[in-house]
Amino acid sequence: MNTNNNIVQNQSSPLGGTKRGASYFKLSELTRSTTAEACGIDNTPSAGAVPLMVELIDKVLDPLRERWGVPIYVTSGYRCPELNARVGGSKTSYHLRGMAADITSRCPFHNAALFTEIRIMHREGKLPLTECYLSQQGLYIHVAYDPAQIKENPFLDR
Taking 60 as the threshold, does the pLDDT of residue 22 lie above it? Answer: yes
Q: State what percent of residues in the chain have pLDDT above 90.
A: 84
pTM of the model: 0.85
Closest CA to 146 of 31, 52, 27: 52
Q: Yes or no: say if 72 and 65 are a contact pair by the CB < 8 Å rule.
A: yes
User: Dmax of the chain from CA atoms?
Assistant: 43
Taking 80 as the threshold, does the pLDDT of residue 117 lie above it? Answer: yes
User: Tens digit of pLDDT for each residue in 60-106?
Assistant: 999 999 999 999 999 999 999 999 999 999 999 999 999 999 999 99
Domains of the chain and any CATH numbers: 6-149 (3.30.1380.10)
Closest CA to 45 of 23, 21, 18, 13: 13
How many whole angstroms separate alpha carbon 42 and alpha carbon 38?
Answer: 11
Residue 46 has phi, psi (to 5 degrees) of -70, 165
- Residue ranges of alpha helices (H) inside the chain are 6-11, 27-31, 34-39, 49-56, 62-68, 81-86, 108-123
Half-sphere CA count of 38, side-chain side, radius 13 A = 6
